[in-house]
Amino acid sequence: MSYVLQIWESPIPNSVTEADQIHDRLSEQHTAQNPKFIELAKRLTKRYPSAGTSGGDDEETEDVWSDSPIDGETDSPVYGLGVQTEHLNAVVPFVVKTANTLGLTVYDTQAGQAFLPNGKVLTLPRQAPVQFDETDTSDELTSRNQVEKLVLKGLKGVLKKHGFKPGKRGGDQVFEKKTEGFNQRISIYVTSKEIRKYLITPLVSIEINQGHDILKHLFNYSIPYILITSNVDNFCKQIDSTEQAGIREIEVMNAADVDHAITKIITYFEDHVFPALEECHSILGVDKYMNTSPFGNCPLRGGGGDDRFVIQLIVAHLAKNKNYATLVTDFLEAADQYQKNCLEKAIPYLNQLSHGA
């Protein structure tokens, strides 16, 4: 449902009754575009982006406007602005303040009150003004993009310190570090949970740049191939099984929450994530990570996909794992039928490579 505010420049009413009469009269008229309406729309969408505007994100921005995008364009001397009812407390005070700053009157027909440019509020006789929550909202978060920028700005320093640079693939939220045959990637994703409530999710990925011929022969996979992708909590627990205050996702609602989240992420990364990634800088380290019991818990790309055990065997082959034969037996016993089909295709080929055939 929407709540419509009527906005005009002149004349300025002296009472609610007069405001109602002015509104009725102006609504019947047509005139040239009022540039103040366009400026008003720009200022409002800067604070509360509309879906489809440059300030927003078509899929991620939660709209507070009932007719979106708003642009202020009209040939009427009255601009009707619809606000989604669930957002009235946060949005209406900002609309009134912004419009009044531009010399515009805001008439709320539902509440029977008019907000004048001089700050005066007109109400009906013996009626108290309808109070919206006018809490300072300067700390509010208004879009997913805004949250993402704040988080990335706060984390860039510590990521750079540990050798992670902005990635060439995956957007601004991905940072990469090249090691011996691998790309380590840290991704910081922000998703919208509901209006002005967001989730920050750090992920870790490890891509292999070795074994191209094997991956090409067995699966026609290209290089680099993502071996591991996981939330940072699961990634670290594969190496350190002790109880930790892990991070899967962090909910934020304002800038103060974002600052707290950044501090929490940095601390967790310094204590757990970076040391865990240091263990996976070479084929031997990745093999140890992927093929140490319990092997079924390794957070591989695709989870329990058909190729998961084959990928682990390829890494064991490249690392010349002394327990390779045991891994083959264990994987065949643990595999479902589809995984077993993949293994039975891969094992003879890997055996040929091991014997130089």
Q: Are residues 73 and 29 in the same domain?
A: yes
Q: Are residues 205 and 303 in the same domain?
A: yes
Q: Are residues 152 and 74 in the same domain?
A: no
Residue 352 reports pLDDT greater than 50: yes
Please indicate, yes or no, if residue 212 is contained in any of the structural domains.
yes
Residue 9 reports pLDDT greater than 60: yes
Q: pTM (2 decimals)? A: 0.57
Q: Are residues 175 and 307 in the same domain?
A: yes
Q: Are residues 208 and 316 in the same domain?
A: yes
Please indicate, yes or no, if residue 74 is contained in any of the structural domains.
yes
The tokens for 5 are 């505010």
Domain ranges, residue 104 = 2-123
The set of residues, in sequence order, having a beta carbon less than 8 Å from that of 296 and lying 6+ positions away, is 334
Please indicate, yes or no, if residue 132 is contained in any of the structural domains.
no
Please indicate, yes or no, if residue 116 is contained in any of the structural domains.
yes
Measure CA of the first residue to CA of the last residue in the chain; give whole Å.
72
Please indicate, yes or no, if residue 138 is contained in any of the structural domains.
no
Please indicate, yes or no, if residue 133 is contained in any of the structural domains.
no
Number of domains in the chain: 2
Q: Are residues 173 and 242 in the same domain?
A: yes
Closest-CA residue to 56 (of 72, 68, 67): 68
293 pLDDT tier (thresholds 50, 70, 90): low
The string of pLDDT tens digits covering residues 12-54 is 999 999 999 999 999 999 999 999 999 999 999 888 876 544 4
The string of pLDDT tens digits covering residues 199-208 is 898 988 888 8
d(CA 14, CA 6): 16
Report the pLDDT value the prediction gives residue 296, as an integer from 0 to 100. Answer: 47
Please indicate, yes or no, if residue 137 is contained in any of the structural domains.
no
**Mean pLDDT confidence for 254-258:** 86
Report the pLDDT value the prediction gives residue 330, as an integer from 0 to 100. Answer: 87
Q: Are residues 100 and 240 in the same domain?
A: no
Please indicate, yes or no, if residue 167 is contained in any of the structural domains.
yes
In this structure, of 10-24, 50-64, 132-146, 310-324, the range with the lowest mean pLDDT score is 50-64
349 pLDDT tier (thresholds 50, 70, 90): very high
Phi (first) and psi of residue 127, to 5 degrees = -120, 125
Q: Are residues 97 and 176 in the same domain?
A: no
Q: Are residues 280 and 340 in the same domain?
A: yes
The set of residues, in sequence order, having a beta carbon less than 8 Å from that of 262 and lying 6+ positions away, is 150, 151, 154, 155
**Mean pLDDT confidence for 158-170:** 86
Q: Are residues 98 and 169 in the same domain?
A: no
Residue 60 reports pLDDT greater than 50: no
Q: Are residues 157 and 64 in the same domain?
A: no
Q: Are residues 194 and 103 in the same domain?
A: no
Report the pLDDT value the prediction gives residue 161, as an integer from 0 to 100. Answer: 92
Q: In what order do the strands lie in the sheet with 105-108?
A: 79-84, 2-8, 105-108, 113-115, 121-123
Last residue of a domain, one of 76, 93, 123: 123
Report the pLDDT value the prediction gives residue 303, as an integer from 0 to 100. Answer: 46
Report the pLDDT value the prediction gives residue 237, as an integer from 0 to 100. Answer: 66
